[in-house]
Amino acid sequence: MLVPDTAFEGCRGTVMDANPGMLHGMAGRIVEEAIKFVAVCARNPDTGLTPSRIVDEGWHALILHTAVYAELCDGLGVFVHHYPGYDPTHYDPSILDRTRTVIAELGWEADPELWGPPSDETLVSVAAKCQHAPECTIRPMPTPQPPVV
C-alpha cells in the first residue's frame, strides 16, 4: 500500500468535505485513482500524463494532506508537482488514454468510470475544475526548477 490506511481515510474525508453528498465508496475510489496517478507520473516522468477532472479531485485531497503527500512522493523517489490549468478547449482525450495505458503497464486497472472527459459529470460532480491540457501535463521534478519569467 502506497498510503497508510489512516492517511487514506483522511484524504477520503477531504474529498467528501469538498463534495457534499458524495458517497464514502466513491470518494475512496477517487483517492485510489489519484494515488495510482501520482505513482505512474513518478515512474514515467517524460510521458506527459494527466488526470481526469474527477481523479484530480483526489489528487487535490492528497496534496492538502502535505505530510501524506510528501511521504508518498518520497517513497516514489520523486516529488510530483501539480500544474493546474483550466481550458476545456484544450482537452485532448489521447492524454487520458495514454495515462490509463501507463497505469495498466504498471499492473493496475484504471477505474474506467473515473477517467472520462471533463464534461462527463454524469457519474459524479466534483469541486476540482482543473483541466490539465497538453501545455500543462504533469512533469515530476526531483529538484525544484527556477520560475520561467
Q: What pLDDT is recorded for position 92?
A: 73
* pLDDT higher than threshold 90 for residue 104: yes
Q: Tally Cβ neighbours within 10 Å of residue 72.
A: 23
Average pLDDT taken over every residue of the chain: 81
| Residues sharing a CB contact under 8 Å with residue 36, sequence separation 6 or more, in sequence order | 103, 106, 108, 110
Quote the pTM value: 0.81
SS3 110: coil
Cα–Cα distances (Å) from 80 to 20, 52, 92, 127, in that order, read: 28, 16, 21, 21
